[in-house]
Structure 1
Amino acid sequence: MTVSDTALRAALRLYPAAYRSERGAELSTVFAETTAGAGAGACLREAFDLGAYGLRLRLGLTPAGLPGRALAAAAPFAVGAAAGQAGLVLAVTAKEGAPGLDASRSMWALLMLLSVLPLASLAAALFGNWRPARLLALPSVTVVPAAAVLGYWAATGAVPPFSVLAAVSAFSVPGVLWSLAVPAAPADLLGRVSRLGRSAMLAGLLFGFVGSGVQGLTRIGSAGGPASAPVLVLGLGLAVMAFLGARRGQVAPLALLLAVLPSGLGIVAGELAGNLRASLALLPVVLVVGVGVAVALRSTRERSPAGPEAALPSVE
């Protein structure tokens, strides 16, 4: 079996079973014609694109799927919130200074660059250009972990201990999820930004800055922390609203849940990093919220109207 055959089989496995049974042969034919005479690298790229579309179909992240439309609706808030958290890192770095700057100038230059990327993505998105937010998502999610590792190393000359890495990783959860929301949303739905979209971006910017600051002060800088129960109860309420709205084909409740859920997950991650035993009490609520979100997404895929996902993905 060639590399091309193995890649094609792996890509087709990502498609829903019914879709694969109906159109798998046609997809295989198009793939074979497109990659005829191509090298292994080109075959892998085509298989990646083919599989990525199959995964979108499976998750409902298409322009016709309700999860895809909800994620696109939440994207303006998400790109603003990710920039807000990165802006907080940038502000703290500027205020506190860079320890060991003379000895580790390149480290801090990298940190400053990583902190600016989400802000640059937000600036472009404000004018309807979503390409930077999609391209810079992966480097943007490294802002907080890089700040921890480089900052600790510059100050002490040593690698941060596990407790510091765990706390900072928990702090970075919301920013990671917000940054990845844009590339996960259907590109066809991320076009011109309305006045409401710009307002959502600015609201997300404020939410990400203030919310991340509170989380950072309570979970990283001190022993105490905010009460997680109210936040999780709010998350549970939003999950119920999203489920009921999804049954009616409504986008707004699910979009609201996807916009604010990263912040709640960040608090849960902070609890887990800070006190594993105490955080076990939160698991029932977390599981209920998680199941509610999964059921809501499942029901939306089943109720999605026929649309772009009925067409074959382009592998050219």
Structure 2
Amino acid sequence: MTQQDSSRLLRWALRLHPAAYRAEHEAELSAIYAQATHGAGPLGRLREAFDVAGHGLRRRTGLGSDRMAGQVLAQAAPLAVAVAAGGSVANLLWLFVPGNKILPSSSLPGVLVLVNQGLMPLLWLAALAAVWTGRWTVARALVVPATLLRLVDLPLLLAALPAVPGAGVHPSVVLNLAVPLLTGGVILAAPRDLLGSPRSRHGAIAGVTALAVLLGAVQLFNVFHPVPLGGPRTAQALWAGVLAVALLGRRDRLFAAGLAVAVLPGVLQCTVPLLYPLSPVGAVALLLVLVSSAVALFRAHRRRARATPPSVA
């Protein structure tokens, strides 16, 4: 990358800022970029340009560090990595289910499934380790290929499995595309200046990772030993319970909101299939989400009302 290319990248990144903000801060942003890229190679200049572009997009979408939405995303980002890492590890257990026809397959799609299923946990665990040590640049760089691998997971599975006559487009197909994009979006959209080293959140990160692994294992166990009520998919509704607990948290509301955002992709992945057709377990999960969301919105509205001073007539 030449110096001219670097300047062109910076101009492109600056254009993503709101016009008024760009007019006021363009010189400052250019100076910060020049200082950060002094002596840096092409990858370093490209990374800084993307950071400037991301800052502009956050300003346009109201996700800056001075906004509540940006602060919630900063709380959610490390927990979203934990959920994805724990879920990808738990997903490996499904490959060893008795009668699984993908694991012993010698076909190219079957081999690609195995490679993909093995690489995803490695990437997410590496991202989790980077988050644990506060290396967010590395963590977010790893999230991109991990998300891409998750996106190609379903096509590879469909190619490896025998064709099912009469199979149509299922909601799970859409979910398997939307959920990884949502997870990656939460992590990449969080304001960089609020992320830092999450030492105070190490316990929460470890707990959420363990919870994701546990819920994945419970879902697998429930397939072979279903509980009497609801059948083999009952355990999927547990994610709705996690979301409800997060939404109803009272101590650290900012952290509770971040946890709710972090587990939302898992909730969608597990509970939406319970709604088509609507099963008793799906109805309970939907009720949990609706009631907890309504209570959380009511509390937020009441806090805003208390914080707003009465107008002078």
TM-score between the two structures when normalised by the length of structure 2: 0.61
Q: Quick one: structure 1 residues 114 and 294, their matched pair in 2 at CA, closer, same or farther if it must change by over 3 Å?
A: farther
Gap regions ≥5 residues in structure 1: 35-43, 304-316
Aligned equivalent of 1:152: 158
Match of 1:211 among 191, 215, 224: 215
What's the CA shift for 1:62? 2.9
Over 3 Å counting, the alpha-carbon distance change for 1:212 and 1:162 in structure 2 is farther
**Partner of residue 122 from structure 2, selected from 83, 106, 116:** 116
- Kept in 2, the 8 Å contact 1:69–1:189? The answer is yes
Whether 2:170 is the aligned partner of 1:170: answer no
**Percent identical residues:** 25
C-alpha distance 218-10 of structure 1, shift in aligned 2 (>3 A) = farther
CA distance in 2, matches of 1:128, 1:46: 18
RMSD: 5.1
Structure 2 counterpart SS, 1:124: helix
Q: How far apart, in 1, do the equivalents of 2:257 and 2:126 lie?
A: 27
CA deviations 1:208-258 (Å, max 9, x no partner) are 223244557779x9975338888658746754668x97xxxx523323332
Q: 2:114 corresponds to which letter in structure 1?
A: W
Counterparts of 2:237 and 2:116, CA distance in 1? 37
Q: Rate the CA distance shift 1:174–1:197 in 2: closer, same or farther, 3 A.
A: farther
Structure 1 residue 82 displacement after superposition = 0.6
Structure 2 residues without counterparts, runs of 5 or longer: 1-7, 34-45, 308-313
Instruction: Choose the corresponding residue for 2:59, options 41, 57, 60.
Output: 57
| Equivalences, count | 272
Q: Which residue of 1 aligns with 2:42?
A: none
Whole-angstrom CA distance in 2 between matches of 1:204 and 1:92: 20
Deviations 1:91-121 (A, max 9, x none): 3225546242354434532442234211221
| Residue 81 (structure 2) pairs with residue 76 (structure 1) | no
SS of the residue 1:136 aligns to: helix
CA pair 66-225 structure 1, distance change in 2 beyond 3 A: same
- Relative to structure 1, is the Cα distance of residues 228 and 142 closer, same or farther in structure 2, using a 3 angstrom cutoff? same
1:1-316 map, 5 Å: 11-12=16-17, 15=18, 20-21=19-20, 23-26=21-24, 52-94=54-96, 96=100, 98-104=103-109, 105-156=111-162, 161-163=167-169, 166-167=171-172, 169-170=174-175, 176-194=181-199, 196-214=200-218, 225-226=233-234, 235=243, 238-239=246-247, 251-272=254-275, 274-275=276-277, 282=286, 286=290, 289=293
Which SS does the other structure have where 1:98 is aligned? coil
Equivalent position of 2:40 in the other structure: none
TM-score by length of 1: 0.61
Q: Supply the distance in 2 between the matched residues of 1:31 and 1:75 (Cα, whole angstroms).
A: 25
Q: Which has the higher contact order (CA 8 A, sep 6+)?
A: 1
